[in-house]
Amino acid sequence: MLVIWGCLLLTATPPPDAVVLDHLLPRPRQVQLHGWRPLPAGLGYRGANLGAAVAAVAWPLRQYNATRTTDVARLELRLSADGLPSAAGAYRIEPTADGLRLQAREVGGLVNAAQTIAQLIAARGEPWSLPQVTVLDWPALPERGFWGGDASSDLDWLAARKFNLLEVHGELGFAADGTPTAKLPPALLEKARLSGIQVVPILHHLEQLAPTGLFRVHPELAGGGAHGGSTGQTLVRLDHPNLAPVITRWMSDLLRLPDVRALTVWLAEEGSGNALQDATQNPFVYEALLVERCFAAAAAAAGKPQAQLRVLTTQASFKHNEAILAALAPRTAVIHYDGGRTYNSARKPVLEPYFQPWAAAGHHLGVCPILTADWRGVAPWHGAEFIQERFRNFAACAVQTLVGYAPPARRFYDFLLEASAQYAWNPEAMSPAEFARAYAVRHNLRDAAAFAEWATLTGPIGQDLYGSRVIVSWCYGSSIGTANRGGLKFGEGVLAEYRDAAHLADNLTKLRRAAALADQLGMPQLQHETAVLSGWTSLLELLWQLNALLPQAAKLEPAQRQQVADLLRRFDDTADATKAALHAWGLGVLAAGEAAPSRWEDTQDAIAKQATELAALGEALGFPDTKKAYRRTKIGGWKTADFNAGEARLSLDVTSRVVDAGTYEAEFQWSNGLLGLNVREVTLQALRGDDETTLQVLATDRHDSHCGAWNKGHLYRLPLAKVEPGTTYRLLIRCVAGDPQRPEADRTSNGDVFFRKLPAAP
C-alpha cells in the first residue's frame, strides 16, 4: 500500500482504459491511450526559454513533481505552432523515450495539456503511473469562466476542468484625501496565476456606485434617481468633467496589478441610462465611448498599451446595442448580458442576430449567461441538453469569451457546470446521454446507464419548467391573479415552454419513470429532484385546470364547485410537498452547519406564496382555508425613515394571525436599498383592550441577525402557551439599519416582515 497526500490508498486493480478516458473533462477531440509507464520519483521538466511557463505547467501536476534531478520522467515543454490548429488554447501530447512532449502555441495550451495528464493519472488510481497518450485538442471558446457566486473561492475546481477566466469586482473607493483607489486581493491574484486562470476586474454599473463613496467625495456627479430603478441608486452625470479622472484612476490602479491584462465595465442597467445635459445624445453610446477614452488613458498610465477593454451590455442598453457596437473601437470587446435574455434557461438563443456578423468581422464577442435553472432562485436540474444547445449557439456566433453566472454556489449545479466545461470546449463532443454516463463514471455512481436514462428523461422536463421562468415569476409576482382571470396560455408566461395540456401530462408520465429510476439508483438527491420536478409540473397542470373554472366561480354548479374545492386542496398539498422536496434537496447539498443561501429559501417561499394567494382567493370565493394560520403572511415592513433616530422599535399588530397555542415565527425579508436590516430582539406582547397597563410580555427571541442581500439568523421564534379572548397581540421589533448621522440617501433600507404559526413537530 502507498501513503499519498496524507491518505491511505490500498492497491487495487486499475480501471480499464476506456473508463479512464471517461474521467477526462472536457473530453479531448482526439485521444489515444497506449498504456502506462512507472513514474519512479516524479516529473521533471525541460524546454528552452520557457521561464514562468514551467511553474504554470507544474501547478496541475505539483503532487508529482521531482524531489531530485535523477530517476524522473520528463515532460518536454515546447511552445510552437507547428501542426497545431490556430485556436487559442490548442495543445498536443505525444509520448517520448522518457516521458511526454507537451506542445502548444502559448502557455495556456501547455496548462491545458498538463490538466489532461493530471486527470488521467488521478483516474488511473495509481499515482506513480504516467500515461502514454497521444492527444490533439483545442477549445471552441478561447475564454471560459465565471463571475459571481463562489467562483473566486473555487479556483482549483475551475482550473481542473480547464476553465481559464474569472471576472471579479474591483474594490473601488477613495483615500482619505479623496484620491480614487482600486484594488483586488493579492492572494486571489496569486492563486489565479498559479491555476492558469486570467483575472479580469469589473467596474460595476455606474448608477450603483454610491457605496464606493463616489457621491460623498464628488457630490457634483450625482444625476438624480434612476428612473425605473431600485431604491437607493443614483445616476451619474456622464458629461461632468470630474467623472473621467475618477474612472481613469480606478482603471489604472487595476491595470497596474500583476497579470491583469483586461478590464470589464458594466454599462448602466437601470431605467434610461445615466444622466446627460444634452438630451439628444444617446446615454449608452456616450457612456461606452467615455469608458473607452478613460481606458486608453489608464492603459498608457499603467504601461500596458495592449490591455483590452470589455464593455458589458445590459437590459437597459438592449435597444441601443447596435449603436454601441458601431461606435466602439475595433479593439474593444463586447460582452452581451441582459437580465431577461441571457439570464434565463429558455430554448430561445440568447444572442441577437446582429452579434454574429459583428463577431465574424473579427471583433471580440463575449456572453454572460446563467448556466443554471434560474438566476433568482435555486432548484435542482441535470440539463445537459440545455447546456449543449446554448454552447452550440455561442460557437456558431464566434463567441470568444464565456462569463457564466451560477449562483449561489457551484456545488448546487455540479452537473450543469461540468456540462458547461465540456460543451464550451467542444459542443459536439458527446450527446447528453454520453455526457451523463461519463459523469456517472467520474462520480462513481453505481449504475451509469440508469443514471444517464434518468438525466435524459428529466433534463428536457426541467427546461420546460425553468425555461418558462416560473421561479423568477413566482419570486417577484404571482400566477394566481392570471388564472383567476382565465389568462394563462400555453406558449406564454409560466407555460411558455409548453405546447398544450398533453405536454404537461406527458412530462408527468415520464417523471413517474424517472422516479422509478431514482429509486433504483438509491440516490436521495435524485429522488428529491424528481419530486421537485413532478410537484412543480403538477402545480402548473392544476393551475391550468383552475384557469378554466375560476373566472366562472360565481356561476358554477355544485359539482363544479366541488371540482374547484378538490383542485384547491390538491394545489395546496402539492405545494407543500414540492417545497418539502426542494428543502430536502438543498439540505443534501449544504455542508453541516453551513448557512442556507437566501435564494434557495426564497424559491421555497415563492412556492408557498402561490399556495397562500390561491387559498386566500378560494376563501373569498367561499372555500374555507383550514391552514390559514400556518401560511407565511406579510404583516408589515420597515423603511429608511424608520431609522432617522437610530435604533427603531417597530410595533406590528398580529392579533388576526394568532389563533391558538403554539410556536410562531417572525421572518424579515429585505427588498431594496443600500443597507440590510440588523434585528436585535423580537417580542410577542399581549394587551387587554386599550389599557396599556395590561401590557404583558409573552415571549422574547433575542439574538443579532442580518437581513439583506444575504441573510443570517433572520427567523425569530416565539412560543405562546395560550390564547386569551379579547386580547390584542403585537410584535415589538428592535432593529437598526445604518448610522443616522449618514445622509438618508446613503443608508436606504426597505423590506417586509412575515408572520406564521409553525406546525407542531411530528
Region of 629 (left: φ > 0; alpha: ψ -120 to 50; beta: rest) is: alpha
Alpha helices in 448-597 (DSSP H): 448-467, 470-476, 480-484, 501-521, 524-549, 558-589
Q: Return the closest-CA partner of residue 514 out of 586, 462, 467.
A: 462
Classify residue 740 by its DSSP letter.
T
State pLDDT tens for residues 522-557.
999 999 999 999 999 999 999 999 999 999 988 999
Q: For residue 157, what is the enclosing H or E element?
A: helix 155-160
Please give the biggest Cα pair distance in the chain.
95
CA dihedral 116, 121, 123, 129 (to 10 degrees): 150
pLDDT over threshold 80, residue 54? yes
- Give residue 53's pLDDT: 79
Kindly state the cell numbers that stand for 616: 386566500
- Give residue 232's pLDDT: 54
Residues 6+ apart with CB under 8 A from 26: 139, 161, 162, 421, 422, 424, 425, 426, 429
pLDDT over threshold 60, residue 614? yes
- Region of poorest pLDDT, from 47-51, 194-198, 726-730, 750-754: 47-51
- Mean pLDDT value across residues 492-518: 98
pLDDT over threshold 80, residue 9? no
Alpha helices in 590-624 (DSSP H): 598-620
Over the range 212-226, which residues count as b (16 or more CB within 10 Å of their CB) and which as e? Answer: bebbebbeebbbebb
Q: Please tell me which residue, 8 or 555, carries the higher pLDDT value.
A: 555
CA dihedral 498, 501, 503, 508 (to 10 degrees): 110
- Mean pLDDT value across residues 426-442: 97
CA 272 from centre of chain: 26
- Give residue 6's pLDDT: 27
User: Which 3 state secondary structure label does DSSP give 679?
Assistant: strand
Kindly state the cell numbers that stand for 685: 406582547
Nearest-angstrom CA–CA distance, 515 and 512:
5
State pLDDT tens for residues 300-333.
999 999 999 999 999 999 999 999 999 999 999 9
State pLDDT tens for residues 628-663.
989 999 999 999 999 998 999 999 999 999 999 999
Kindly state the cell numbers that stand for 409: 454556489
Contact 664, 658 (CB under 8 A): yes
753 pLDDT tier (thresholds 50, 70, 90): very high
Per-domain boundaries in the chain: 14-137, 143-434, 468-626, 631-757
Give the angle 372-91-47 at the CA atoms, nearest 5°: 130
Kindly state the cell numbers that stand for 419: 456540462
- Give residue 575's pLDDT: 98
Amino acid letter at 381? W
- Give residue 554's pLDDT: 87
- Give residue 226's pLDDT: 57
- Give residue 2's pLDDT: 25
Kindly state the cell numbers that stand for 219: 457630490
Q: What is the DSSP string of 311-368?
A: EE--TTTGGGHHHHHHHS-TT-EEEE--TTTTS---SS-SS-TTHHHHHHTT--EEE-
Handedness of CA 91, 93, 96, 98 (dihedral sign): positive
674 pLDDT tier (thresholds 50, 70, 90): confident
The CATH number, out of the four listed (3.40.47.10, 3.20.20.80, 3.10.300.10, 3.40.50.300), of the domain defined by the range 143-434: 3.20.20.80
741 pLDDT tier (thresholds 50, 70, 90): confident
Q: What is the fold, at CATH topology level, of the domain defined by 14-137?
A: Chitobiase; domain 2 (3.30.379)
Strand duo 99-104 + 143-147: pairing:
unpaired
CA dihedral 237, 239, 245, 250 (to 10 degrees): 50
- Residues of the chain with pLDDT > 90, as a percent, come to 83
Classify residue 123 by its DSSP letter.
H
- Region of poorest pLDDT, from 20-24, 52-56, 284-288, 633-637: 52-56
Handedness of CA 148, 149, 152, 158 (dihedral sign): negative
Q: Return the closest-CA partner of residue 377 out of 420, 335, 413.
A: 413
- Residues of the chain with pLDDT > 70, as a percent, come to 97
State pLDDT tens for residues 174-229.
999 999 999 999 999 999 999 999 999 999 999 999 889 999 999 999 988 754 44
Contact 606, 582 (CB under 8 A): no
- Tell me what the pLDDT averaged over the chain comes to: 93
- Give residue 351's pLDDT: 97
SS (H, E, C) 379-435: CCCCCHHHHHHHHHHHHHCCCCEEEEECCCCHHHHHHHHHHHHHHHHCCCCCCHHHH
* C-beta atoms surrounding 349 within 10 Å: 16
State pLDDT tens for residues 339-378.
999 999 999 999 999 999 999 999 999 999 999 999 999 9
pLDDT over threshold 60, residue 666? yes
State pLDDT tens for residues 565-582.
999 999 999 999 999 999
43 pLDDT tier (thresholds 50, 70, 90): confident
Give the angle 266-253-743 at the CA atoms, nearest 5°: 65
pLDDT over threshold 70, residue 86? yes
Contact 38, 61 (CB under 8 A): no
Q: Return the closest-CA partner of residue 201 out of 247, 162, 154.
A: 247
Strand partners for 75: 45, 100
Contact 197, 155 (CB under 8 A): yes
Q: What is the fold, at CATH topology level, of the domain defined by 631-757?
A: Jelly Rolls (2.60.120)
User: Which 3 state secondary structure label does DSSP give 137?
Assistant: strand
pLDDT over threshold 70, residue 762? no
Kindly state the cell numbers that stand for 308: 483590452
- Give residue 70's pLDDT: 63
Nearest-angstrom CA–CA distance, 222 and 206:
11
742 pLDDT tier (thresholds 50, 70, 90): confident
pLDDT over threshold 80, residue 420? yes
State pLDDT tens for residues 232-267.
578 999 999 999 999 999 999 999 999 999 999 999
- Mean pLDDT value across residues 47-60: 82
pLDDT over threshold 50, residue 419? yes
